[in-house]
Amino acid sequence: MDRARRRKYPWKEWFAGDRFVLVRGIDFDTRTDLMIQQIRTHAGPDYYDCTVRITVADDGSALAVDIFPKGPQKGKGRPRNPKRRCVA
């Protein structure tokens, strides 16, 4: 896929508030599970460094994302729990 065809999502705009809702076919065209992974990646420490709770519509057509800023961290890092999921 060339650069002209790549979709650039407005991550800065989406993560500016405390909640955003995305509708498949309007806000994103990829599979819902792939969009969830992209949201989690952008919520991580390399991007916006926040915690997200993602609620998926029953038919998978929409995602509601609640954003929670992280408080001050003690120490140099925090342990990761791979079994913990943000999807409600």
> pLDDT digit of tens for each residue in the chain (88 aa)?
445 445 689 999 999 999 999 999 999 999 999 999 999 999 999 999 999 999 999 999 999 999 998 866 544 444 444 444 444 3
Tally of residues, the chain: 88
- Single-letter residue type at 51: T
- Residue 43 domain flag: yes
- Residue 83 domain flag: no
Structure pTM? 0.72
Which residues span the domain enclosing 52? Answer: 11-69
- Residue 21 domain flag: yes
C-alpha span between 58 and 61 (Å, rounded): 8
User: Tokens at residue 47, please?
Assistant: 């991007």
- C-alpha 37 chain-centroid distance: 7
C-alpha span between 73 and 61 (Å, rounded): 35
- Single-letter residue type at 65: V
- Residue 52 domain flag: yes
